[in-house]
C-alpha cells in the first residue's frame, strides 16, 4: 500500500479518536453539570415513585410471557444468513466449486438449528 495513503489513514483515525474523546467528555460534563447547577428543593411527596397524587393500585409487576424473543432469534438466524450470501455471490464466479461446498455446509448447520427449534416447539404460540 502507498505510504502517503497509510499516513493519511493514521491521521484521520487519530482525529476521529480525538473527536470521540471530546464529544464523550462534553457528554459526561453535561451529565454532571445538571446535578451541580440545578436547584434541589425536595419534599416527601416528591420522593414518592408516583408523584401525581393517587396511590398506585397494583404493587408488583406481574410476569408476562415474552414470546416474541424467540421469533426475534429465528429472524436473526435468517437475517445473518442473507448478509453472508452477498459477499458469497460476489466471489462465486472465481471459486464456484469450493464456494458451493462452503455455503452448503453453512446452510446445513443453520437448517439443523432451525429443525431443532421447530421440533422443540419454538413456533408454537401457546
Partner 1 sequence: MNEFASLSPLLILVGASLIILLLEAFGQWSKRWLHSLIALASLGGCAIFAATFWGKGAGYFQGTYTLDNIAILMTVLFSLAGFLVILVSLSYMIQHGFNRGEYFSLLLFAVSGLIIMTTSEDLIVIFLGLETLSVASYVLAGLKKEDEKSSEAAIKYFLLGSLASSFLVLGLAFIFIHSQSFSLKEISFVIDKSENSPLFLIGFSLVLIGFGFKVALVPFHMWTPDVYQGAPTPITAFFSVGPKAAGFLVLFRLLRPFLEPIFSRQNLQIILWLLSALTMIVGNLVALRQKNVKRLLAYSSIAHAGYLTIALMTQDGQGLIFYLLAYLFMNIGAFSILIALSPNGQEFHELDDFNGLATRAPWLAASMSVFLVSLAGFPPTAGFLAKFYVFSTAVRQGYTGLVIIAVLTSLISVFYYLRIIVHMYMSKQISKITIKADDPILLVVIFFCLYGVLQLGLFPGRVLTLIQKAVLSLPPL
Find the binder of partner 1 among 7, 10, 65, 74 (CB under 8 A): 10
How many Cβ atoms are within 10 Å of 35's Cβ, its own excluded?
8
Distance linking the first and last C-alpha atoms of the chain: 58
Report how many residues bind partner 1 under the rule CB under 8 A. 14
Find the binder of partner 1 among 73, 75, 78, 116 (CB under 8 A): 116
How many Cβ atoms are within 10 Å of 12's Cβ, its own excluded?
10
Minimum separation from the CB atom of position 113 to partner 1 (A)? 8
Nearer to partner 1, 10 or 67 (CB): 10
Say which DSSP state 55 is in: P
Contact 110, 81 (CB under 8 A): yes
- Residue ranges in contact with partner 1 by CB under 8 A: 1, 6, 9-10, 13-14, 17, 109, 112-113, 115-116, 119-120
Amino acid at each position: 500500500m502507498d505510504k502517503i495513503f497509510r499516513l493519511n489513514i493514521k491521521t484521520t483515525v487519530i482525529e476521529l479518536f480525538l473527536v470521540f474523546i471530546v464529544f464523550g467528555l462534553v457528554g459526561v460534563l453535561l451529565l454532571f453539570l445538571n446535578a451541580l447547577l440545578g436547584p434541589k428543593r425536595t419534599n416527601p411527596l416528591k420522593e414518592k415513585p408516583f408523584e401525581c397524587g393517587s396511590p398506585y393500585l397494583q404493587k408488583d409487576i406481574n410476569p408476562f410471557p415474552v414470546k416474541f424473543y424467540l421469533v426475534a432469534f429465528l429472524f436473526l438466524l435468517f437475517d445473518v444468513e442473507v448478509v453472508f450470501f452477498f459477499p458469497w455471490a460476489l466471489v462465486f464466479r472465481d471459486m464456484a466449486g469450493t464456494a458451493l461446498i462452503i455455503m452448503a455446509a453453512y446452510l446445513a448447520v443453520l437448517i439443523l438449528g432451525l429443525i431443532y427449534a421447530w421440533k422443540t416447539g419454538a413456533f408454537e404460540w401457546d
